Amino acid sequence: TDSILIVDETIRLTTESAVDSTVLTKEAHIGDIVLTVEIQARSMSGSGYQPQLVLFFAPETTSVADVTTNDNGFGDFFESSVVAWMKERIYFNPNDPNLLMYTWFNAKVLDTDSNFVSEGGSKNNRMNSGFLRLQRSGGSIDSYYSFDGVSWAEVGGGPVLLPTSYRTAPLKLGYRIKREWKSAYDITTHPTITSNGAVTASTTSDPQSYFDDDNIERIGTSCSSSEGCNLALDAYNSAVLSTETFSGDVSFIVKVENRKVFGTGYQSGLALFFAPADATLNLVPTGRNEDGAFNDYVIAAVSDKIHASIDHTWTTMKYQTDSGTLSQSGGDGYKN
């Protein structure tokens, strides 16, 4: 993406518009694995805790979209997609540059019961440059940091033994930015990987489907499996509903490729939803002033909202339970 610049062996992660950056290996690595990332240079972004560099190992079926989230999604979505991660955290106040000259280090690793174990530590030195290391050895995960690449310190209390399924399995390696609510960052890195070998990563074996004019009902929409869907209509509602039904675990992902802003004020939002198997588009309330009826009818929905002049995205998720409809909401300082 535009926020990732690769020159020779260095990778620069940089943005001034709240882009979330991630790099992920295409191949998976087997056996003992060591991912070392040198922070060669970084710029400070305003005052407070700074954007953080996060190293991680993920299952070989993981895509870069799975592990790229804003700050709201770090715990719920990023963390649930990885096997282990570690990160650094520093503080900077331009009015008092020597305040809190510390670096905090944190790590989380899946243990033998597939629960995350948290580890941490700190050093009275700000990591303007330095090294982070995440490694798998003998089926266990450990993490380290160094300010000079020679003397290394362990994060936490020692190696954590992984679940059996991840002790020798191929893993993808990567690192990303956790923005700490900042809109700008600039970190130049140099990664090094050693392992017992790299293999072609498996893709998910689960069946996949795409929206196409042959398998959907639609209003004000055109779709193809290669070009995606275009929702454009002068009236209130455009909608798409699959004529296929799905069972078991289902993941529904929509990438917003391009979005036009009309006039001023709040804009039309995009809502993804799961509906009963016997639903038809005529039964799904999608008209003006039918938001309440829509939320009551569908099983679950997640939607976004943006404003023409505010650099922010609001998100809401609603889903049905035995005791009624539950709602969760969040947002981030980046317009979707």
**157-175 confidence digits (pLDDT tens):** 899 999 999 999 999 999 9
pLDDT for position 261: 87
Min mean pLDDT across 77-86, 194-203, 216-225, 280-289 is at 216-225
Residue 248 has pLDDT above 70, yes or no: yes
pLDDT for position 26: 94
pTM: 0.67
Q: 105 - beta bridge partners?
A: 88, 121
pLDDT for position 334: 62
pLDDT for position 125: 96
